[in-house]
Amino acid sequence: MVKSPVLLLTTFIFAVTACDERSSPSAPDIRFSAIAIENTGVTAAMDVAALAFTYQLSLTLHETAGVRATISQVTVTLTDVSGGTTTNRLSSLQAFGTTQMPANGTLVSSGVAVTGQLPTAKEITVQVAFVDEHGKSDSAQMSTAVKAEFTGDWVGSSTITQPPGDWSLIRISLIQRDDVLTGELVTRDGRGFPLSGCVTCEGAPWVSVGGLPGGSGGCRIGLFFQQFEFRSGQMLRMSSRLGGRCPGTAIGTADLQRST
């Protein structure tokens, strides 16, 4: 029996194709490192000597591609309402205590900070530059708002013992119009005191407490706000010290949380 030349040709082509498929190496599957930045909060604390605020960021880095990387630099930039910027460049050791990002790992910040003025600060941007194990350079970036907004109701505990009254819990209602602050403070036992001040008074936000007993007259007693906490771009907590120009007439601190 004579075999068909068409059948022979088909068989030959199939054999060659099968041989090529067995001998051709598959292309390597190369993945590159990917890092995401999670911001869990920003704390602004006054540096009295510098008359400025230090903004400390709580950050967590997540490697999501399963490829280890080396963090090369962390850049923190604060932008104010006029568009001006203040930049702080940090090494990975300063910012995270290590240079290595494990595959699928996390790093928690230990020193990511920048200095600025609370009344004019608007936004903070963080950029993390890294090189993965394949030598590819890349960066991750996040931004968060840090604009100080005082208008609203604030409530919290306090250690204030002077002036007289039950100051263990205080409620403060504030209205902010540009730099001016006005409002009312109510103690746990229902005593009400008018508030007036400004965001830039005394080098930091300050409100004078009016309507105090006669023994406190002329001392300009007030709340001096020195620390603030931002989450998801909103100012949610602030800590204050009750101070006065007459020793012994104003003693204590208050930690307040936004209620509205």
| pLDDT exceeds 80 at position 229 | yes
Instruction: Provide the percentage of residues in the chain whose pLDDT is more than 70.
Output: 84
The CATH number assigned to the domain holding 119 equals 2.60.40.10
| Residue 216 CB partners (closer than 8 Å, separation 6+) | 163, 244, 246, 249, 250
Q: Are residues 188 and 89 in the same domain?
A: no
Q: Could you tell me the pLDDT band of residue 203, with boundaries at 50, 70 and 90?
A: confident
Across 211-252, the runs of DSSP E, i.e. the strands, are: 222-231, 234-243
Q: Are residues 159 and 69 in the same domain?
A: no
Please report whether residue 196 resides in a domain: yes
Q: Could you tell me the pLDDT band of residue 186, with boundaries at 50, 70 and 90?
A: very high
Element (H, E) at 113: strand 112-116
pLDDT of residue 214: 56
* Averaged pLDDT for residues 76-84: 98
The CATH number assigned to the domain holding 253 equals 2.40.128.620
For the stretch 8-38, pLDDT in tens is 444 444 444 444 445 556 656 789 999 999 9
Q: Could you tell me the pLDDT band of residue 219, with boundaries at 50, 70 and 90?
A: low
What separation in angstroms does the CA of 204 have from each of 116, 148, 149, 207? 12, 12, 14, 10
More confident position, 181 or 47:
181
Q: Are residues 202 and 134 in the same domain?
A: no
Please report whether residue 217 resides in a domain: yes
* Averaged pLDDT for residues 132-141: 98
More confident position, 162 or 125:
125
pLDDT of residue 14: 42
Please report whether residue 251 resides in a domain: yes
pLDDT of residue 164: 80
Structural domain for 42, as ranges = 35-145
For the stretch 86-111, pLDDT in tens is 999 999 999 999 999 999 999 999 99
Q: Are residues 138 and 156 in the same domain?
A: no
For the stretch 40-63, pLDDT in tens is 999 999 998 888 999 999 999 999
Across 26-68, the runs of DSSP E, i.e. the strands, are: 35-47, 52-63
Q: Are residues 177 and 160 in the same domain?
A: yes
Please report whether residue 113 resides in a domain: yes
More confident position, 164 or 259:
259
Please report whether residue 122 resides in a domain: yes
pLDDT of residue 29: 76
From 145, 173, 204, give the residue that closes a domain.
145
* Averaged pLDDT for residues 233-246: 88
From 145, 168, 192, give the residue that closes a domain.
145
Please report whether residue 6 resides in a domain: no
Residue 104: alpha-carbon gap to chain centroid: 23
* pTM exceeding the 0.75 threshold for the entire prediction: yes
pLDDT of residue 246: 65
Q: Number of structural domains, the chain?
A: 2
Token reading at 13: 């082509």
Please report whether residue 252 resides in a domain: yes
Q: Are residues 100 and 181 in the same domain?
A: no
From 130, 145, 160, give the residue that closes a domain.
145
| pLDDT exceeds 50 at position 162 | yes
More confident position, 244 or 79:
79
* Averaged pLDDT for residues 157-165: 86
